[in-house]
Amino acid sequence: MKIETIDSTPYNDQKPGTSGLRKKVKVFQQRHYLENFVQSVFDCLDDCNGKTLVLGGDGRYFNRQAIQIIIKIAAANGFSCLIIGQSGLLSTPAASHIIRKNQAYGGLILSASHNPGGADEDFGIKYNISNGGPAPENYTDAVFKHSQTITQYKLADIPDVDLETIADVQLENLQIRIIDPVSDYAELMASIFDFELLKNSLSSGKISLVFDAMHAITGPYAKRILEDILGAKAGSVINGTPLEDFGGGHPDPNLVYAKELAELMFSDHAPTFGAASDGDGDRNMIVGANFFVTPSDSLAILAANATLIPAYKNGLSGVARSMPTSQAVDRVASALNLPCFETPTGWKFFGNLLDADKITLCGEESFGTGSNHVREKDGLWAVLFWLNLIAKKEQSVAEIVQEHWQKFGRDIYSRHDYDAVDSTIANGIFDHLRALLPTLEGQSFGEYTVSYADEFSYTDSIDGSVSSQQGMRIGFANGSRMVFRLSGTGTVGATLRIYIERFEPDASKHGQDAQQALAQLIELAEQFCQVKQLTGRVAPTVIT
């Protein structure tokens, strides 16, 4: 195989964020941009020679071209086996599973998750390590550093690979395996959940469901598993064909962007169960007939009921949530006497805890839930978990949630996002908050007395690594909390996220609307950060 060395010049903006490097497609299409980053990833690995690499993406615009380029760079860097999803497709959780199942050295996942796709939209790339999870920060920092000085990359002189045909192809000493992206993952799901029970409930119509794949990666996975294997009515999966631009939509499963599903679920002909997933299949939104499940509650409910699921019947070793996720799961952990960890935002922080079996389940408020079956959050897994619970408990989604609140109390929760804020204003807000925090402790604002105010810093209990500046938190004596963070996944300006929660033990007040119940805290958050005043906005871009 002829290997060329191509001279290049470095870019200074290849810093991976919360989940890999995300930029506009046009940025990735700049000369040598993708090549530099991929070569930097490989240069920062010990030795790629003779190793296996998994490759696939969410099918967005530029996915196929990027895969052909990466194949040539990977071949030139000595990998001996590339496992690639047919048509270049792999959901993020499926990629994680395939890395683990094949004991691959790692994988490159091409996705910008929930960000829109298309020639003028976003693209992304992320390296996952041999445990199937996102590379830790010390590695992504090293890649960023290297990318700023890189002067050349290697390219194998081989023809483009046929990505459409499932086959094993040998190119001299390189094996290229084009695999069915769904079958291994479907098998894994069957090993976790009670598929017999699910088949009975779904094929008989006892449980009716609609799954919105949002024209993204989970279409083929959901059709195979929910319709073909479990017998849900044909058409239960909507928007099921992955499109390069997600049909012009925003593949983020929330009530704003999954509009078609939201309208159906809040109508008088709603099915028992509704769900949606995002661009790369790791997020989930769960909705019952006329009932929305907050992701933080979902995590707590899965933890509380886990022993009803075959794979978790012997109980959990522990649970974890990202810092801004509500404290609902903490209450379950304390009732079950389980360790509960609080990590910074981003799935990479769960990896060590899962590997060390300190936790079995984990999740984030941003529609992410998962377990030790892979090292990514997993949208369809959460959907199957809920379906399995509904079938087993013979209760509706609303009944399951309300019963949970009665037992543990309700952590009323909401997140307000201000997108595309001018970066100077956003930085000013955080400088101001950083100065304000030390003055707040002990101060009272109406019924809210500040019991702590700090900037979250995390020390990994397994490898001792420290991640600082992970968001500002203000906790109140009555258990309420607010958190301010800047997004690490946005590609335009800064996205300011404000997370607000209040604990309500009184069951007679559990039916409240979250925005109303949190109104005072929302006002207080504005008083502290002044985002509306400084940006002239009247409302958040998205409320979840």
Binding residues vs ligand G1P (CB under 6 A): 18-19, 113, 322, 345-347, 364, 366, 368, 487-490, 497
Of residues 147 and 369, the one with the C-beta less far from ligand G1P: 369
- Other Cβ atoms within 10 Å of 152 Cβ, number: 15
From the list ligand G1P, Zn ion, none, which binds 366 (C-beta under 5 to 8 Å, kind-based)?
ligand G1P
Could you give phi then psi for residue 440, rounded to 5 degrees?
-85, -30
From the list Zn ion, ligand G1P, none, which binds 488 (C-beta under 5 to 8 Å, kind-based)?
ligand G1P
| Helical residues (DSSP H) of 106-235, grouped into ranges | 137-147, 183-192, 195-203, 218-222
Q: Which of 19, 87, 91, 113 is catalytic?
A: 113
Q: What angle do CA 128, 132, 134 make, to 5 degrees?
A: 35
Contact 282, 93 (CB under 8 A): yes
From the list ligand G1P, Zn ion, none, which binds 364 (C-beta under 5 to 8 Å, kind-based)?
ligand G1P
Query: How far, CA to CA in Å, does 495 sit from each of 348, 420, 528, 531, 542?
Result: 20, 6, 17, 11, 11
Of residues 214 and 500, the one with the C-beta less far from Zn ion: 214
Judged by CB under 5 A, the stretch of 4-12, 111-119, 320-328, 467-475 that binds Zn ion is 111-119
Least distance from ligand G1P to the Cβ atom of residue 74, Å:
25
Strands of 167-293 (E only): list them.
Answer: 167-171, 174-179, 209-212, 237-238, 273-277, 284-288, 291-293
Of residues 247 and 488, the one with the C-beta less far from ligand G1P: 488
From the list ligand G1P, Zn ion, none, which binds 470 (C-beta under 5 to 8 Å, kind-based)?
none
Is residue 113 close enough to count as binding Zn ion by CB under 5 A? yes
Of residues 209 and 382, the one with the C-beta less far from ligand G1P: 382
Least distance from ligand G1P to the Cβ atom of residue 497, Å:
6
Of residues 350 and 503, the one with the C-beta less far from ligand G1P: 350
Interacting residues with Zn ion between 268 and 287 (CB under 5 A): 278, 280, 282-283
CA 354 to chain centre: 16
Least distance from ligand G1P to the Cβ atom of residue 384, Å:
20
Of residues 239 and 322, the one with the C-beta less far from ligand G1P: 322
Retrieve residue 372's tokens.
């030790």
Residues 125 and 229: their CA atoms lie apart, in Å, by: 31
Comparing CA positions, the residue from 80, 93, 42 lying closest to residue 385 is 93
From the list Zn ion, ligand G1P, none, which binds 280 (C-beta under 5 to 8 Å, kind-based)?
Zn ion
Query: How far, CA to CA in Å, does 40 sit from each of 130, 247, 469?
Result: 18, 33, 26
Of residues 364 and 460, the one with the C-beta less far from Zn ion: 364
Least distance from Zn ion to the Cβ atom of residue 142, Å:
24
From the list ligand G1P, Zn ion, none, which binds 116 (C-beta under 5 to 8 Å, kind-based)?
none
Residues 439-467 as b/e (b if ≥16 CB within 10 A, e otherwise) read ebeeeebeebebbebeebebebeeeeeeb
Could you give phi then psi for residue 118, rounded to 5 degrees?
130, 170
From the list ligand G1P, Zn ion, none, which binds 348 (C-beta under 5 to 8 Å, kind-based)?
none
433: which residues sit within 8 A by CB, 6+ positions away? 472, 484, 528, 529
Residues 331 and 255: their CA atoms lie apart, in Å, by: 27
* 298 annotated active-site: no
Least distance from ligand G1P to the Cβ atom of residue 486, Å:
8
Residues 492 and 422: their CA atoms lie apart, in Å, by: 9
Could you give phi then psi for residue 58, rounded to 5 degrees?
-85, 5
From the list Zn ion, ligand G1P, none, which binds 250 (C-beta under 5 to 8 Å, kind-based)?
none
Of residues 113 and 480, the one with the C-beta less far from Zn ion: 113
Is residue 365 close enough to count as binding Zn ion by CB under 5 A? no
Least distance from Zn ion to the Cβ atom of residue 379, Å:
8
Nearest residue by C-beta to Zn ion? 113
Of residues 278 and 364, the one with the C-beta less far from Zn ion: 278
Nearest residue by C-beta to ligand G1P? 487
449: which residues sit within 8 A by CB, 6+ positions away? 442, 443, 476, 477, 478
Could you give phi then psi for residue 539, rounded to 5 degrees?
-150, 160
Residues 32 and 55: their CA atoms lie apart, in Å, by: 19
Contact 86, 164 (CB under 8 A): yes
Residues in contact with Zn ion, total (CB under 5 A)?
5
Least distance from ligand G1P to the Cβ atom of residue 348, Å:
9
From the list ligand G1P, Zn ion, none, which binds 489 (C-beta under 5 to 8 Å, kind-based)?
ligand G1P
Least distance from Zn ion to the Cβ atom of residue 281, Å:
7
Q: Are strands 174-179 and 209-212 parallel, antiparallel or unpaired?
A: unpaired
Least distance from ligand G1P to the Cβ atom of residue 16, Å:
11
Biggest distance spanned by C-alpha atoms of the chain = 73
Which residues are catalytic, by number?
113
Instruction: Please give the residue ranges that form the binding site for Zn ion (CB under 5 A).
Output: 113, 278, 280, 282-283
